[in-house]
Amino acid sequence: MTRWRFCDDRGQAFPLYAVFIVMLLFVALAFFTIGKAGVVRSDAQGAADAAALGAAREARDNLTPGIDLAALSPQAWEDFLRGNMLGSGGCDAAGAFAAMNGATATCSQSGLRFTAAVVTNGTVGDSVVPGVSGQHGNAEATAEIIPRCLLKQQESSDPGPSAEPKAPGRIEFECDKGASVTFDPAQPRPWSALGRALFDIRLID
């Protein structure tokens, strides 16, 4: 009788053990899905950051067609340093940068700000968690072109006959952190290099 009761108790425990194993597997799969979803979201944010920065960089590194820097007046330079003459095709580059990060992007521009909204090509995949299967990652980022220089005030006093005259048309700028930038039409450097000296690019919240 005692032996029969022991076997009966063990038989009753087996279904509970099976239920426990199933629950444990479900929890493990749920945690795996949550982790994968986190990776997809992280990929989406990385793609959004790259797309927004790429759009802003494209605009900064290209001027509006037809601008002759050597012919700008001081007033025009002041307007230029506010970013009003930079290229307008930045958003065209956002899609390419998103694609390199496995996503598609839509881009909008407001002044010197470029906002990219992306959707990842990859998904979370099949999941035991309701409403998660097949979801794509979504994220948004905004990058801004930041003017960092002002036109340097020219000395109004007579420099005297012994002073060396500056090259004609030479423009000097005072920039952040005490930096100084010079544009010399007689020895121009590529605009992309000058643009990086005059304008920063930052992600903003």
* pLDDT for 156: 45
Residue 127 has pLDDT above 80, yes or no: no
DSSP secondary structure, 39-88, as one string: HHHHHHHHHHHHHHHHHHHHHHTSBPTT--GGG--HHHHHHHTTTTTB-S
**DSSP classification of residue 185:** T
Is the model more confident about 102 or about 158? 102
This prediction has a pTM of 0.71
User: What are residue 174's phi and psi, to 5 degrees?
Assistant: -100, 125
What average pLDDT does this structure show over 50-74?
Answer: 88
What average pLDDT does this structure show over 32-53?
Answer: 78
pLDDT, tens only, 14-31: 566 566 565 666 555 555
pLDDT, tens only, 138-178: 899 999 999 999 988 655 444 455 445 444 468 889 998 88
Residue 135 has pLDDT above 60, yes or no: yes
- Cβ atoms of 120 and 64 within 8 Å: the answer is no
Question: Distance between CA 48 and CA 106 in Å, rounded?
Answer: 10
- Cβ atoms of 145 and 200 within 8 Å: the answer is yes
The least confident of 47-61, 72-86, 118-132, 150-164 is 150-164
The least confident of 27-41, 91-105, 126-140, 152-166 is 152-166
Cα 117 to Cα 23, 33, 78, 107, distances in angstroms: 38, 24, 32, 6
Question: Distance between CA 6 and CA 189 in Å, rounded?
Answer: 91
